[in-house]
Amino acid sequence: MTLAEELKSRNFSIYGQWIGVICILLCLAVGISNLFHVSIIILFGILCIVSGLTLIFVEIPILLRICPTSPTFDNFIRRFTTNYMRAIIYGVMSLIQWLSLIHSATSLIAAAVLLLLAAVCYLIAGLKGQGFVGSKTLGGQGVAQMIV
């Protein structure tokens, strides 16, 4: 299945996964850019970077095989193999970034919005009864099954 066919499949878990990949890049970028504030926003920037690094392993499962990680971390990441669990992790990460608005509005709001959008896609997939389908472009079905 090509990328275009995946996006036409109307499977919201694939949409969530691709939005998640964009979230990785955005979280790393805005997290780093917010490290230069002289306020509590630095903490939210660090949490955004940690979120982006965690999502790398959640969304690109082949990396659990390639990168040397601890068994504890591997077990933590393996919890997020269903649409509902992914919706929860994205929702929590989004909430953390929304909380940064308490202090001041920064570029972290972009990460909050996109993380929320990914959470909604995974939630819709779960509610529609669509099974999680990983994108083959990102090391999908065959590779993901070997890891889990």
Taking the C-alpha atoms of residue 115 and residue 129, their distance in angstroms, rounded to an integer, is 21
Instruction: Say how many C-beta atoms besides its own lie within 10 A of residue 62's C-beta.
Output: 15
Taking the C-alpha atoms of residue 91 and residue 120, their distance in angstroms, rounded to an integer, is 8
pTM (global) more than 0.75: yes
In this structure, are residues 80 and 122 in contact, taking their beta carbons and an 8 Å threshold? no
Does the structure show a pLDDT above 90 at 89? yes
With a CB cutoff of 8 Å and minimum separation 6, the contacts of 137 are 3, 6
Output the average pLDDT for the chain. Answer: 85
Nearest Cα neighbor of 129 from 1, 9, 12, 19 is 12
Q: Looking at residue 8, what is its pLDDT?
A: 67
- Supply the angle between the helices 41-59 and 108-127 in degrees, to the nearest 10: 40
Q: What is the pLDDT of residues 101-135, one digit of tens each?
A: 998 889 999 999 999 999 999 999 999 888 777 66
